Amino acid sequence: MVRIHILADNKVVQLRPKGLLAEWGFSAAVDGRVLFDAGQKTAAYNNAILLGLKPEFDCIVLSHGHYDHTGGLINFLRSKPKLFMHPDAWLRRFHEGVHIGMPWCREEIENLAEVIEHREPVEVSKGIYALGEIPRKHRDVGIGKVLRDGRLTDDSVPDDQSLAIKTERGVVLLLGCCHAGLRNTVEYAEEVCGDEVRFVIGGTHLVALKDAEVVEVAEWLKKKVEFVAPCHCTGFRGEAILASKLGEKFKLIGAGSVIEI
């Protein structure tokens, strides 16, 4: 069985335990072994403790270098964990003139963690793969500008990666923001794992798509998966469309949710 705790999300959807925090961002823990993203500030750390998790992980994976996935990172670096990330996650990024990149510099993090930069898939724990840079055959969803080699250019967020978790029932795909595009990410996870994606959890960035495009995604997913549990950058309209199209295959989740497969 795989147990996934949602530690940070834009919303809380349950009454207990008391004191759960929400913030714009995402973080999740897999089997208490691997931390995937760290939220924006303190929600992930606070919620981990409330959910009975020891907030010291041997392995941390960053989905990409945006503040709402990396801002809370410093809270989880007390045990000098292995930190897996794409090298582009360090780059400075901007949206409408506001910095939206990682709020920590390389020196700060390297003093507190064993940084492992990668572009290729890596098995970070038994049966859990950080996918690395994802090929983009279908539409992706970039945002803002990135400072690269002294020039600001459109940012396709090439560092965006997800976690693929192998189970007896198929692959569980855990998404941070999915800037690489949902279909691209699903297909690459299947290539890496040699099995079909049956469960999709996390941020899908459907907030950037038109309603008709979200409907198309929903109809594609319905034929493919056992369930979809979207959150964070899916957006309220995106979640509403997925719920209406997927029916029982849609799961409502938020900070504090626990998903067992």
For residues 28 and 6, the answer to whether their CB atoms sit within 8 Å is yes
Characterise 102 by phi-psi region: left (phi > 0), alpha (psi -120 to 50), beta (else).
beta
Q: Please choose, from the candidates 37, 29, 6, the residue with its C-alpha nearest in 3D space to the C-alpha of residue 177.
A: 37
Domains and CATH numbers, the chain: 3-260 (3.60.15.10)
pLDDT at 189: 98
Indicate the pTM of the whole model: 0.98
What confidence score (pLDDT) does residue 134 get?
98
- Average pLDDT, 10 consecutive residues per value, the chain (261 residues): 97 96 98 97 98 96 98 96 98 97 97 98 98 97 96 98 98 98 98 98 97 97 97 97 98 98 95
> What is residue 212's predicted lDDT score, i.e. its pLDDT?
97
The distance of Cα 8 from the centroid of its chain, to the nearest Å, equals 10
pLDDT at residue 218, rounded to an integer: 97
